[in-house]
């Protein structure tokens, strides 16, 4: 028995109506979404940290989510795990005619253009182009906002809706920042909210022009903040103090110390 079959059998037992686990039996597609997203992010975290044992374990957790969803579908007579594996296999073959067929692509741009046209054709076949075959079709609405912004911008850029060079993007960042300052001066919270969104969107555009993945960059920035803040906590503990007992000047000094110490 392969490990895949063993995993499928385990999930079948967990979902057995008579002898299965009550929690597993209560789950449906929607209830599993938070767990599926969490496991995907944990895979990303392990990969970015280069922690191979953890990556193996987190990939297993993510695979469990695929198996779980597939088992629920099989219980309802919708599809099976085998159908899922078959569908992605067919999709990969269809989208790589230069590997599995006779097509020849001279550049990455040609390969990418075929990939996008293939995806559009698949959406048409599934009847998912009711929004007028927009070039923005197919981008999931519930993606993390930074990821969605990047995808929207990249898709529009392929059709010429983009700045040809980075200079105007910096100008746009300054323009949006000035508009945010004006909104703050007005005191109108809805306007401030809107301008914050515009500023974040154009910052993602700047990251794209600099060939930086905005989501990854922000995750790295979060990790950096956590490392430095924990350094502050550790140094305060050595001094027998807490955050609440410290002044902002002390915290700022330790922050600068953390920047110097942790960058070495």
Q: Do 112 and 89 belong together in one domain?
A: no
| 212 close to 153: Cβ distance less than 8 angstroms | no
Q: Which domain holds residue 233?
A: 215-262
Number of domains into which the chain is organized: 3
Alpha-carbon Rg of the chain, whole angstroms?
24
User: Between 234 and 112, whose confidence is greater?
Assistant: 234
Residue 76 class from Cβ within 10 Å (0-12 exposed, 13-18 middle, 19+ buried)? Answer: exposed
Q: SS3 of 210, please?
A: coil
In this model, does residue 131 exceed pLDDT 60?
no
Long-range contacts of 143-146 (CB under 8 A, 24+ apart): 144/215, 145/200, 146/200, 146/204, 146/214, 146/215, 146/218
Does the pTM exceed 0.75?
no
Sequence-ordered list of residues with C-beta below 8 angstroms from that of 42, at least 6 positions apart, any chain:
58, 61, 62
Q: Do 13 and 73 belong together in one domain?
A: yes
In this model, does residue 173 exceed pLDDT 90?
yes
Residue 158: what pLDDT? 81
Instruction: Classify residue 138 by its DSSP letter.
Output: T
Q: Do 112 and 90 belong together in one domain?
A: no
Q: Domain boundary residue among 62, 95, 128? A: 95
pLDDT tens readout for residues 191-209: 999 999 999 999 999 999 9
Q: Domain boundary residue among 60, 95, 130? A: 95
Q: Do 223 and 246 belong together in one domain?
A: yes
In this model, does residue 124 exceed pLDDT 80?
no
pLDDT tens readout for residues 80-107: 999 999 999 999 999 899 999 888 888 8
| 192 close to 184: Cβ distance less than 8 angstroms | yes
| 116 close to 158: Cβ distance less than 8 angstroms | yes
| 228 close to 259: Cβ distance less than 8 angstroms | yes
pLDDT tens readout for residues 37-66: 899 989 988 998 899 999 999 999 999 999
Residue 250 in domain? yes
Q: CA of 114: how far to CAs of 103, 109, 127, 158, in Å? A: 10, 9, 20, 13
In this model, does residue 5 exceed pLDDT 80?
yes
Q: Do 60 and 127 belong together in one domain?
A: no
- CATH number, domain at 18? 1.10.287.1080
Residue 154 in domain? no
Residue 202 in domain? no
Q: Domain boundary residue among 41, 75, 95? A: 95
Q: Do 111 and 81 belong together in one domain?
A: no
The answer to whether the Cα torsion of 186, 190, 196, 202 is positive or negative is: negative
Residue 148 in domain? no
- Lowest pLDDT segment from 132-136, 196-200, 254-258: 132-136
Cα gap 92→101, rounded to integer Å: 12
* Whole-number average pLDDT of the chain: 90
In this model, does residue 36 exceed pLDDT 80?
yes
Residue 53: what pLDDT? 96
Residue 138's CB: how many other CB atoms inside 10 A? 17
Residue 34 in domain? yes
Residue 180: what pLDDT? 96
Q: Of all residues in the chain, what percent are helix, strand and coil, respectively (each to 5)?
A: 75, 0, 25
Cα gap 239→251, rounded to integer Å: 13
Q: Do 37 and 117 belong together in one domain?
A: no
Q: Do 70 and 120 belong together in one domain?
A: no
Q: Do 117 and 45 belong together in one domain?
A: no
Cα gap 2→21, rounded to integer Å: 23
| 98 close to 109: Cβ distance less than 8 angstroms | no
Residue 170 in domain? no
Query: Dihedral, CA atoms, 226, 227, 231, 234, nearest 10 degrees?
Result: 70
Residue 233 in domain? yes
| 100 close to 93: Cβ distance less than 8 angstroms | yes
∠ CA 159-207-169, rounded to 5°: 65
Q: Do 11 and 88 belong together in one domain?
A: yes
Q: Do 71 and 116 belong together in one domain?
A: no
Residue 133 in domain? yes
Q: Do 13 and 91 belong together in one domain?
A: yes
């Amino acid at each position: 028995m392969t490990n895949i079959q063993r995993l499928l059998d385990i999930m079948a037992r967990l979902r057995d109506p008579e002898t299965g686990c009550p929690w597993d039996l209560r789950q449906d597609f929607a209830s599993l979404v938070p767990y599926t997203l969490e496991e995907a992010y944990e895979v990303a975290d392990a990969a970015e940290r280069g922690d191979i044992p953890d990556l193996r374990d987190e990939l297993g957790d993510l695979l469990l989510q695929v198996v779980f969803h597939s088992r629920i579908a099989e219980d309802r007579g919708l599809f099976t795990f085998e159908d899922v594996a078959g569908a992605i296999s067919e999709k990969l073959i269809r989208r790589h005619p230069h590997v599995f067929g006779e097509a020849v692509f001279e550049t990455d741009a040609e390969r990418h253009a075929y990939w996008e046209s293939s995806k559009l054709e698949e959406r048409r076949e599934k009847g998912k182009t009711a929004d007028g075959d927009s070039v923005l079709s197919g981008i999931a609405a519930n993606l993390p906002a930074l990821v969605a912004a990047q995808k929207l911008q990249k898709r529009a850029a392929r059709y010429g809706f983009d700045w040809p060079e980075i200079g105007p993007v910096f100008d746009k960042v300054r323009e949006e920042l000035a508009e945010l300052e004006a909104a703050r001066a007005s005191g109108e919270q809805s306007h401030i909210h809107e301008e914050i969104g515009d500023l974040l969107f154009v910052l993602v555009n700047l990251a794209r022009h600099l060939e930086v993945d905005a989501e990854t960059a922000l995750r790295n920035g979060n990790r950096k903040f956590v490392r430095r803040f924990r350094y502050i906590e550790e140094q305060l503990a050595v001094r027998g103090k807490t955050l609440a007992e410290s002044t902002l000047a002390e915290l700022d000094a330790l922050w600068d110390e953390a920047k110097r110490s942790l960058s070495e």
